[in-house]
Amino acid sequence: MSQNILEVKNLKVNVEETEILHGVNLSVGANETHVIMGPNGAGKSTLGYAVMGSPRYEITDGKVIFDGKDITGVSTDKIAKAGMFLSFQIPVEVPGITLANFIKSALEQKTGQRVRYFDFKDKLENAMNILHMDPSYATRDLNVGFSGGEKKKTEILQLLMLEPRLAILDETDSGLDVDAARTVSEGIEAYKKNVGGALLIITHSTRILEALKVDVTHILADGCIVDEGDGSLVDYINQNGFEKYLTAGCR
């Protein structure tokens, strides 16, 4: 039995003194693909941010265990170095730092070593090709002036370059047109194929799931997990929506 890469135990999270998550439990196996779905306002993004150690989300109870180690309350950069990645729903613009330099810095932080320029350049080019990204984006300031779709692609680009052991994707396909959504999907597949890490996909639309084999589906409503199932649960939701869960209560 493979060890779980992520275990969330009875997690309670406050945002600005309001409790948003009321005791979430979930486990993700080392190479699995999990999906978290739920109605708007359920707390799905909150879960992603809290697990990643965002200071705005206060963990008031419970634990987060990553790769066997308790990371509850650990600072974000240490969690990232340990191999977790969060793809932002609204990626932040960072003027003055180019996309390429940023990824290179992040890689150097991760490995603790200087990155060889030519190896890096090739790898970056390949990754950008997979995502149909114009190479000129590498020398543009990170996300500055990028369209919504380009920002999302940049997140997946980072996913491919940083090769985390667990990637939390927060509403990755929201706001994307059909082509962009497909490209992003291909990027995620490439990650799965080349790195084989675990995926925790937070979404309320299921386009990008079409090509992925989903191992576990969690339904998050009103701040806790109200149901779990396999990939077929996604189809159920697509047909019936979340109505059944709106008054379900926590498991």
Partner 1 sequence: MKEKTQVNDINRSMYDFRYEEKDAYTVDQGLTPEIVEQISKEKKDPQWMHDFRLKSLDIYNQLSVPDWGPSIDGLDMRNIVTYVRPNTTMKGKWNEVPDDIKNTFERLGIPQAERESLAGVGAQYDSELVYHNIKKEVSDQGVVYEGIEDALRGPYSEMIREHFMKLVPPRDHKFAALHGAVWSGGSFVYVPPGVSVEIPLQSYFRLNAPGSGQFEHTLIIVDEGAYLHFIEGCSAPKYNVANLHAGCVELYVGKNASLRYSTIENWSKNMYNLNTKRARVEEGGKVEWISGSFGSHVSYLYPMSVLAGKGARSEFTGVTFAGKGQNLDTGCKIIHAAPETSSYVNTRSISKDGGISTFRSAVVINKNAVGSKSSVSCESLMVDDISRSDTIPAMDIRTAKADVGHEAKIGRISDETLFYLMSRGLSEEESRALIVSGFADNVSKELPLEYAVEMNNLIRMEMKGTMA
Binding site for partner 1 (CB under 8 A): 52-56, 75-77, 79-81, 85-86, 88, 91-92, 94-97, 102, 105-106, 109-110, 141, 158, 162
Minimum distance of partner 1 from residue 167's CB (angstroms): 11
User: Tokens standing for 42?
Assistant: 């359920």
The whole-angstrom separation of Cα 96 and Cα 102 is 10
For residue 150, the minimal CB distance to partner 1 (Å) is 16
Q: Shortest approach of partner 1 to residue 54 CB, angstroms?
A: 5
CA dihedral for 93, 96, 98, 102, sign (positive or negative): negative
Nearer to partner 1, 68 or 95 (CB): 95
Give 65 or 144: the residue with its C-beta nearer to partner 1.
144
Which residue's CB is nearer to partner 1, number 195 or number 250? 195
25/101 with CB nearer partner 1: 101
CB of 45 to partner 1, least distance (A): 13
C-beta of 91: minimal distance to partner 1 in Å? 7
Q: Which is nearer to partner 1, 8 or 219 (CB)?
A: 8
Task: Dump the DSSP string for the chain.
Answer: -PPEEEEEEEEEEEETTEEEEEEEEEEEETT-EEEEE--TTSSHHHHHHHHTT-TTEEEEEEEEEETTEE-TT--HHHHHHTTEEEE-SSPPPEEEEEHHHHHHHHHHHHHSSPPPHHHHHHHHHHHHHHTT--GGGGGSEETTT--HHHHHHHHHHHHHHH--SEEEEESTTTT--HHHHHHHHHHHHHHHHHT--EEEEE-SS-GGGTTS---EEEEEETTEEEEEE-THHHHHHHHHTTGGGTT----
69/251 with CB nearer partner 1: 69
